[in-house]
Structure 1
């Protein structure tokens, strides 16, 4: 996993270096979450009519990674943060709702990213079963600190409501809320081993548009995170706007 060395520093540097850039216009957060597809610098697909010419591609076009075959739909009782599905290659401006969630903090090396996240999600699921609390959303990983050797993260699973009295947990489980506010959503379709290419598209897009983001990112696993080579994986990546 080379994401930290190649991509995360770019996000952090971008957030710091673009402090004078003009942010997107503020909007009142809608309820529930809404999406607004944004124009990308990706060259459009050729038109169906061969007699019509395609729109010219801008210079230094950003080409999204090849889309993997979508897996079976997720459990409808556990919807993603944004109801409208993401389209591979598109960038959507979304407003993330603050949902109550069970949270478990952890650390991992980049090489052990998938098994470490799997273990954290499995522990949360087990703790929720013991407490009699049903999950109400897809697993989420918030990457809070990154360096060459590895990263710190918060694994989250949304629930319908946080318990008034949190159950005792030896694992360190706690309750809070999912990241909320305005964000840009990038869809990754394909193996986790190939997710770096989507982050490259993300950082290039932010650079081209002069968009200021927070120095952390969010991954929401629309399909289960099985292993690094699973090419049916569907991940929503959110860049949180400042």
Structure 2
């Protein structure tokens, strides 16, 4: 190889000079990339890219949208009592059982879903009235402290709780937030109407209407 280069040295020098003259401008315009150089992304013509228009979604429906209804009075057997929050469910079940026994003694028949009215409450517990609708007539008086009378009548907002009795605190908190948001005046009277039978249902699987009286 050295002999070949020796005989062509002059010609090679001329050729090399011409090549460098041609390559130098290109090299100046396109500098070599270092090992850490970034490759720019390809240019995309936006007119050639298919796009799908996005329709603004409707605001999420409130999970607490009550309906308004008017309650008509029905005859009920009422038993009053008080309870701590820890014993609330057991106390209500006991009251319904006593009312059911008393209705049978009086010759009356349960004729509707049980109401529970919460009159007053604090951190320690609450006062309640369990009201059991009935049909029939009697000349006897119920045993104390039970009494015969009529259920609440008037306009209410109806919310629905489905689940365990222990989770009702969360439901009531959401109701309170809803009433505040809508500026609904409320006199702290709440009525529950049990769609499930308190005497047979599991406390973990209840369906309860929570009725908020309107002024």
Q: TM-score, length-normalised on structure 1?
A: 0.62
Shift of 1:90: 3.3
Shift of 1:228: 10
Quote the Cα distance in structure 2 between the aligned partners of 1:55 and 1:137: 39
Shift of 1:140: 1.1
User: Map of 1:151-162 to 2, 5 A cutoff?
Assistant: 151-160=126-135
**Which shows bigger deviation, 207-216 or 103-112?**
207-216
Quote the Cα distance in structure 1 between the aligned partners of 2:202 and 2:97: 19
Structure 1 residue ranges without an equivalent (≥5)? 1-50, 65-88
Contact 2:108-2:138 at 8 Å conserved across structures: no
Map of 2:76 onto structure 1: 101
Shift of 1:182: 0.5
Map of 2:100 onto structure 1: 125
Map of 2:139 onto structure 1: 165
Map of 1:34 onto structure 2: none
Map of 1:54 onto structure 2: 57
User: Alignment partner for residue 164 of structure 2, among 191, 196, 208?
Assistant: 191
Structure number with larger C-alpha Rg? 2
* Aligned: 1:233 with 2:189: no
Structure 1 pair 146/228, CA: closer, same or farther in 2 (3 Å)? farther
Contact 1:109-1:150 at 8 Å conserved across structures: yes
Structure 1 pair 146/232, CA: closer, same or farther in 2 (3 Å)? same
Q: Which has the higher helix share?
A: 2
RMSD over aligned Cα, in angstroms?
2.2
Structure 2 residue ranges without an equivalent (≥5)? 1-53
Shift of 1:227: 9.2
Contact 2:97-2:199 at 8 Å conserved across structures: no
Map of 1:145 onto structure 2: 120
Quote the Cα distance in structure 2 between the aligned partners of 1:126 and 1:226: 12
Quote the Cα distance in structure 2 between the aligned partners of 1:206 and 1:168: 38
Contact 1:114-1:228 at 8 Å conserved across structures: no
Structure 1 pair 52/190, CA: closer, same or farther in 2 (3 Å)? farther
Q: Figure out how many residues of one structure are paired with residues of the other and give that number.
A: 162
* Aligned: 1:181 with 2:133: no
The structure showing larger relative contact order (alpha-carbon pairs under 8 Å, at least 6 residues apart) is: 1
